Amino acid sequence: MIVASLISYAQAIVLGLLQGVSELFPISSLGHSVILPRLLGWNIHQNDPYFLSFLVATHLATAIVLLLFFWRDWVRIVKGMGRSLRDRGIAPDDHDAKLGWLLVVGTIPAGILGLLLEHSLRRVFASAESAAIFLMLNGFLLYGAERLRRRAPQTEGDDDARLAKQLGFPAAFGIGAAQALALIPGFSRAGATMGGGLLAGLSNRDAARFTFLLATPIIGAAAILKLPELFGPNGDGVRGQALVGSLCSGVTAYFAVRFLLRFFETNRLTPFALYCGIAGAICAAVIPFL
């Protein structure tokens, strides 16, 4: 089997850089990884086994970066969850424990829907044309979430305490379920989570923080679950490229999360909504003629 030229190193660098940014920006990494190869005329398709193996590596890199970035927060959260298990309840002032269980509740629907629907949804919506249309719809979703936000954001006080106070378990479950939209290439997981957070009454900054915390177990678990594919026959010929792509993805993911946390202190989802709407419309118009 000739596999050495499935993905070139140049392509791996471009796709890795793109993955790191688009996974955390609310603009759909999966949608971009479907659309970009088509726009550039690359013979790469999202359902090709070797490409899935490549994506596993880049996702794992993103998850590792997120874990390290929020490492101190995760240590506090896990300790809080341990306290709550020991005490058989969440103490009213234990914000770390509450946040930890909010993340668990948010992860359950996303994890289950992802496990059960990912394969079939990817197969049905595999084309760049549909990804472009869904990217446009993602723009409407982001804009709608900003327009329909429930109440004025609060920005005073400790981040995690504010999150734990403002967010209830039903809202966390709803936000987690909204992530399932991201199984369709073109819809953004970060966008769905941030949008859900805004509708639940979070500020843009808090919604972004909750999104990144919620993303870590989901992206990491999905990547680890598929890691054997990278080391199996499907990884033949792409492991080197996957390593390079992962490094690129990790670097851009680090800068993306730093940028977004600062960006959402004062800004909104609107610029990303505009980008998705315009880019999706242009791609939907252009791709059929490529």
Partner 1 sequence: MNTRSPLVAGLVAVAGVALIIIAIVYWAEPASSLPSFFPGHVGKQAAEAGHHHVKHGIAAFFVGLAALVFAWFQTGKKKSAA
**Residues forming beta bridges with residue 185, ordered by sequence position:** 187
AA identity, residue 16: G
- Of 86-94, 124-132, 243-251, 256-264, the window that binds partner 1 (rule: CB under 8 A) is 86-94
Report if residue 98 touches partner 1, rule: CB under 8 A.
yes
Which residue in 2, 72, 92, 266 binds partner 1 (CB under 8 A)? Answer: 92
**Residues forming beta bridges with residue 187, ordered by sequence position:** 185
Q: Which positions from 220 through 259 interact with partner 1, judged by CB under 8 A?
A: 225
| Cβ at position 95, least distance to partner 1 in Å | 9
Tokens of 187: 């819809």
| Alpha carbons 196 and 11: distance in angstroms, whole number | 34
Report if residue 78 touches partner 1, rule: CB under 8 A.
no
Report if residue 94 touches partner 1, rule: CB under 8 A.
yes
Which residue in 4, 40, 71, 89 binds partner 1 (CB under 8 A)? Answer: 89
CB 3 within 8 A of CB 18: no
Rounded to the nearest 5°, which phi and psi values hold at 187? -85, 140
| Cβ at position 139, least distance to partner 1 in Å | 31
- Of 14-22, 79-87, 188-196, 257-265, the window that binds partner 1 (rule: CB under 8 A) is 79-87
Tokens of 127: 């084309």
Report if residue 157 touches partner 1, rule: CB under 8 A.
no
Which residue in 68, 91, 274, 290 binds partner 1 (CB under 8 A)? Answer: 91
Taking residue 150's Cβ as centre, other Cβ atoms within 10 Å add up to 11
Considering beta carbons, is residue 41 or 92 the nearer one to partner 1?
92
Report if residue 177 touches partner 1, rule: CB under 8 A.
no
- Of 16-24, 52-60, 67-75, 84-92, the window that binds partner 1 (rule: CB under 8 A) is 84-92
Report if residue 112 touches partner 1, rule: CB under 8 A.
yes
Report if residue 101 touches partner 1, rule: CB under 8 A.
yes
Report if residue 10 touches partner 1, rule: CB under 8 A.
no
- Of 6-14, 67-75, 89-97, 267-275, the window that binds partner 1 (rule: CB under 8 A) is 89-97
- Of 21-29, 105-113, 128-136, 155-163, the window that binds partner 1 (rule: CB under 8 A) is 105-113
| Alpha carbons 9 and 207: distance in angstroms, whole number | 36
Which residue in 5, 72, 88, 152 binds partner 1 (CB under 8 A)? Answer: 88
CA angle 119, 125, 130 (to 5 degrees): 160
| Alpha carbons 8 and 147: distance in angstroms, whole number | 43
Longest dimension (CA), the chain: 63
Distances (CA, A) of 204 to 131, 164, 270: 26, 15, 11
| Alpha carbons 137 and 90: distance in angstroms, whole number | 39
| Cβ at position 227, least distance to partner 1 in Å | 14
| Cβ at position 233, least distance to partner 1 in Å | 18
Task: State which H helix or E strand residue 97 sits in.
Answer: helix 95-124
How many residues sit close enough to partner 1 to count as binding (CB under 8 A)? 20
CB 58 within 8 A of CB 19: yes
Which among 85, 103, 84 is positioned nearest to 93, based on CA atoms? 84
CB 90 within 8 A of CB 98: yes
Q: Which residues bind partner 1 (CB under 8 A)?
A: 84-85, 87-94, 98, 101, 104, 108, 111-112, 115-116, 169, 225
